[in-house]
């Protein structure tokens, strides 16, 4: 049995949670993005409340909290777009999984020999 390197172990951690299934991976990523979005939103609220609490006492620290609130708004904007894109990808993967495979429309084509197919091209060229 070959010993696994630490890098192989690290990059195989995701397969333990999702078992290599792309739909489960999309679900996991979607929920993790929601957690990150909520975490950054709570940081935004904390900085806004800190700004209003410090505005009369310590202007410098109040402005610092307001600046971090602006940074959190920018991060939330990108998180929102990533969340929206992940939601659409998740929907498409689920639809792809739920659709049945398409059957061949012309089974006769599979039964034709190579010579028959070449004859069809020759007759089409004459027309």
How much is the pLDDT for 49? 96
How many whole angstroms separate alpha carbon 58 and alpha carbon 90? 47
How much is the pLDDT for 107? 53
Q: What share of the chain is helix, strand, coil (3-state, %, to 5)?
A: 80, 0, 20
Q: Can you give the pLDDT of all 127 residues of the chain as single tens digits?
A: 577 888 888 888 877 777 878 888 888 899 999 999 999 999 999 999 999 999 889 999 999 999 999 999 999 999 999 999 999 999 998 888 888 665 555 555 555 677 777 777 777 666 5
Tokens of 35: 């957690």
How many whole angstroms separate alpha carbon 28 and alpha carbon 90? 10
Instruction: Give the global pTM.
Output: 0.66
Contacts of 4 (CB under 8 A, 6+ apart): 12
């Amino acid at each position: 049995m070959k010993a696994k390197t630490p890098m192989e172990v690290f990059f195989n951690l995701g397969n333990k949670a999702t078992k290599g299934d792309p739909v489960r991976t999309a679900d996991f990523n979607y929920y993790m993005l929601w957690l990150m979005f909520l975490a950054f939103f709570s940081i935004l609220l904390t900085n806004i409340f800190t700004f209003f609490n410090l505005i009369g006492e310590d202007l410098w620290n109040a402005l610092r909290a307001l600046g971090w609130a602006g940074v959190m708004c920018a991060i939330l904007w990108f998180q929102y777009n990533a969340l929206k894109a992940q939601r659409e990808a998740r929907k498409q993967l689920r639809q792809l999984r739920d659709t049945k495979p398409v059957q061949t429309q012309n089974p006769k084509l599979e039964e034709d020999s190579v010579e028959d197919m070449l004859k069809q091209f020759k007759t089409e060229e004459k027309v």
